[in-house]
A and B are shown apart, each in its own frame.
Chain A
């Protein structure tokens, strides 16, 4: 127990120290982007990893919150109103998504979620009087919670970090709760869960709502980070990118989506400054992950670590594995 606490404390301190270590404003901004996309990926992971429902429409939910924030700020409302309204709108749309998409599972669920995401994208793109079409909406200011302005890269990073830590903690609590266990049950054995008296649909619905909440929060951070929103942020590629973050990092793990988000953001923004064909680099990395660690970077690295330690101390490792495989 103490070992884990020390690990958590070290990780948090390391994250707080990031701006001091790297210094450069540009890289602090990249770190902020990693954190906000990590929240997005954590939200998607609730569905993909724990509920076994692959969504290709999450950029739509992300976009609803972002657009509501931008629209209300442009209309002259305050930050608190805009943020609360954006979360409320995100949750309402999520409920609609869930009500429609949860009529199916598997491929049908993917296709329904994709269609719903495309509808939101279409509205953002075509409802020009509301969204300003592909010219997008600009946001002039960032908020200053408790009198701390977020205009600087450091300030924004710190605020994003706070939100990120809350999101990770929420996910950790969620996964360990009886509800989280029930959700994994609906993923692995929906029929048995049904027989046992669990309301499978309702469990999935609330998981979807939790996922939508995290996604909306990420959308709000995105619009404040970029101070701009346009339909490209809602496109299918954005949904697919989120899914890649989850899958490459490791679906169904707490840290997998975070590592996946870091991977995608770094390749997209930092590697692309040195390599013209950065898409190729990203593709090659995904191929390598699929070949060598099909379960994702985080579980794959753990497996690799165990393999290394097991080859050194075979008997001890064997007992560990045996203990863990028991329910």
Chain B
């Protein structure tokens, strides 16, 4: 028997001793964390640099770096040390990496993560460890029905941008029947649920919802099901909006398309073709916002990375502004509760997205911009441009519903709100 030959005495002893030495050596080699000298402020960034979500993840990192470059790596007089971790876009990776940031690097504040399922995976952990977290990820319930006291969201809930989009579609675009399509992920359920709730409140009707998987090689079979409607709402994220819109354009369908911020993000403008002309999106950020701060941010991004920012970058830049404001307001990072309170009390007027503040659950209240994609006004060498056609100010995660009434409903999901007969 060949396997018995392999397990001879000499071999086994050599193997065990070798592996024991190997384990020891492997761990001994890793450097111990540097002991802080003047206690710099430690900023942890949980992002995605590998896999299908990497495009947004890179923009997140660039947003933070642009901010730190502007302030010369300082926040409120303290030196900032940035630690970046790549989750690989998977929940188990997010958990391991947040442990690395908290237990090894001892961060004061966590920025990120990117994806909703990553945030759900680390939600309990950041509560246990009391790590103030400014998330880009939208998992609606974590600032709604299961609030996490250490979580803030300077970006938006999944549905927050789609509420005004639904309102605009019903009242100004005069759509009656929308067919919704998005990835089979909670982020998309919440986006499209938000659109449906606001759209139907103002007299529209969502006639159907299609859920292609996150990785769909060909959207044609799904696009073939689009019928019996006067408009399409797409909730895609990452690079999927590009692929969906291309397939949609090639199919010859002419129903107007509306979408949220990930579906029409400004960072995608350089990659969209003519098929995106006429698409209306609602986003908490726009390249067009005519403030000096926004211009400075765009110039910084262009100078350092030669890219135009979308909201992935802007969201993180703004999160840094919030942290800086809390530090300036005397937020004591040693006392986590006090620091979270200071973060939540932040109210800014001068950010790339305009004024913002937080509600008592830690979610942002700010402006949302409805934009139409076209060629008019294009700048920075782009062929296409998202032109702002309406601004909604002071939009909260509850839209126009009273908080109590909104929270009495279940969270938006694949089946909620249910489809009406119409």
Contacts and interface: CB of A to CB of B under 8 A. Distances in A.
Contacts of A134: 117, 184-186
Contact of A27 (B24, B27, B90, B124): B27
B95 A273 contact: no
A1 B15 contact: no
Nearest to B28: A21
Given A24-B32, A26-B104, A138-B120, A50 B3 contact: yes
Contacts of A185: 1
B19 A259 contact: yes
A259 B124 contact: no
A138 to B, nearest CB: 6
A10 interface: yes
Interface in A10-52: 10-11, 14-15, 18, 21-22, 24-27, 29-31, 33, 50
Interface string A289-327: 000000000110110010000000000000010001111
User: Which of under 10, 10 to 19, 20 to 34, or 35 or more describes the interface residues of B?
Assistant: 35 or more
B83 to A, nearest CB: 9
A232 B92 contact: yes
Interface string B1-31: 1111111111111111111101110111010
Contacts of B96: 29-30, 33, 269
A56 interface: no
B92 A233 contact: yes
A153 B90 CA distance: 22
B50 interface: yes
Contacts of B26: 262, 266
Interface residues of A, number: 72
Given A11-B19, A27-B30, A133-B414, A252 B10 contact: no
A121 B116 CA distance: 19
B101 to A, nearest CB: 9
B117 A136 contact: yes
Interface stretch (A193-201, A203-211, A222-230): A222-230
Given A134-B117, A136-B117, A227 B16 contact: no
B305 interface: no
A262 B125 contact: no
B1 A276 contact: no
B1 A184 contact: yes
Interface in B68-83: none
A136 B91 contact: yes
A325 B4 CA distance: 10
B16 A230 contact: no
B49 interface: yes
B13 A7 contact: yes
A169 interface: no
B123 A135 contact: no
A301 B18 contact: yes
B239 interface: no
B139 interface: yes
Contacts of B332: none
Interface in A136-186: 136, 138, 140, 153, 175-176, 180-181, 184-185
Given A15-B20, A227-B125, 10 more contacts: A4-B13, A14-B24, A135-B117, A136-B120, A232-B117, A252-B3, A270-B30, A276-B86, A299-B6, A325-B5
19 contacts: A14-B23, A24-B104, A25-B103, A26-B99, A50-B3, A128-B413, A135-B116, A135-B139, A138-B123, A184-B1, A185-B1, A230-B120, A252-B6, A262-B23, A268-B88, A268-B93, A302-B15, A325-B5, A327-B1
